[in-house]
Amino acid sequence: MIISENYSLKQVNTFHIDASARYFTEVNSVDEIIETVSAKLFVNTPKLILGGGSNMLFTKDFDGIVIKNNLKGIELIREDNDYYYVKAAAGEVWHHLVIYCINHNYAGLENLSLIPGNVGASPMQNIGAYGVEIKDVFYELEALHIKEKTTHIFSNADCKFGYRESVFKHEFKNQFIITSVTFRLRKKPDFKTTYGAIEKELEIMGIKKMTIQAISMAVCNIRRSKLPNPDEIGNAGSFFKNPEVTAKNYQELKIKFPEIVGYNLENGNVKLAAGWLIEQCGWKGKRFDDAGVHQFQALVLVNYANATGIELLNLSEKIMLTVKSKFGVNLELEVNII
């Protein structure tokens, strides 16, 4: 167990916020996790589990131990007539898993290509993009209870997945370290191409025969065209969730704002495009010192160089106020504030 003290987190969060951790360690096995959380020094110390740091905003130094999950390994654990069951360790880079599955013709993750971060965080907010969420392909996960040091298996139902939600953000918050996730992937692909610009992109690419490789490539092209690369500009993807309103509320908004962008949900409500609401309030491309709103995607806040977490949080609060005042809609944060 190697413990660093007063460790700069700038390189391990994609916002590149220059916060520090009182203690920092990387764990490569479940035994190392147990050793770390059982150490006398750390038993009562606050703990933060870190994956790729792509969904966090540090607004202050972390006065505890940051445990970076580095567990590696991807394996096919079984198959039946219709599915492959693929188990990936929590520290695997998400997109590496996607590529691995595509190369083996395990279908289901292709629409989730190029989402930053690690496998272990994917169930936290039920990551989703281009018409798929991991709940659609999730089989089960293993997690270590931090206090009891016991291993627990969570089924799909146990995780209580919702839009950018799971049980790990609520009743089990900060209680478990996810160590592996098993996905149930199709032998016969079920191509999902109707969402957003996928079909248009496939056409531009000149695709004649549909494959999971082609869908993955189309999704990567679209994402690269509108989302900032965190290696170039600090960000954590969408800062807010897309808000849900009732059909009645949507109709009222549509009368006042005929261009408003909304998608019908199965429960009868409508999900509004928060990026559109924010853009209409004039925020798109705005910059205040090093904190700003991305020029192509108003839902993404960016750190041009040396913004602090507080500056970005303050900016987000101003955005929320103007959206509330213009549309009467409450935005909720998607990013985890530390």
Contact pick of 129, 137, 233, 274 for ligand FAD (by CB under 6 A): 129
334 has catalytic annotation = yes
Give Cα separations from 111 to 78, 273, 317 (angstroms). 23, 19, 31
What is the per-residue binding string for ligand FAD in 41-80, x denoting contact by CB under 6 A?
Answer: -------xxxxxxxxx------------x-----------
To the nearest whole angstrom, how small is the minimum distance from the Cβ of residue 292 to ligand EPU?
13
State the binding partner of 52 from ligand EPU, ligand FAD, none, CB within 5 to 8 A by kind: ligand FAD
Candidate ranges 38-46, 210-218, 232-240, 276-284; the one touching ligand FAD (CB under 6 A): 232-240
Q: Does 284 bind ligand EPU (CB under 6 A)?
A: yes
Binding-site partner at residue 261 among ligand FAD, ligand EPU, none, CB < 5 to 8 Å by type: ligand EPU
- Sorted by sequence, the CB contacts under 8 Å of residue 168 that are 6+ apart come out as 123, 124, 159, 176, 178
Contact segment (CB under 6 A) with ligand EPU among 87-95, 170-178, 203-211, 293-301 equals: 293-301
Whether 142 is a known active-site residue: answer: no
Is 117 near ligand FAD (CB under 6 A)? yes
Q: How far is the CB of 279 from ligand EPU (least distance, A)?
A: 4
Q: Nearer to ligand EPU by C-beta: 120 or 275?
A: 275
And the tokens for 70? 């580095």
Based on the shown chain and the rule CB under 6 A, indicate whether residue 125 belongs to the binding site for ligand FAD. Answer: yes
**Closer to ligand EPU by Cβ: residue 48 or 260:** 260
Nearest alpha carbon to residue 87 among 69, 99, 102, 72: 72
* Catalytic hit among 133, 164, 166, 184: 164
Q: Which sequence positions are flagged as catalytic?
A: 164, 238, 334
Binding site for ligand FAD (CB under 6 A): 14, 48-56, 69, 90, 115-118, 120-122, 124-125, 127-129, 176-178, 227, 230, 235-237, 336
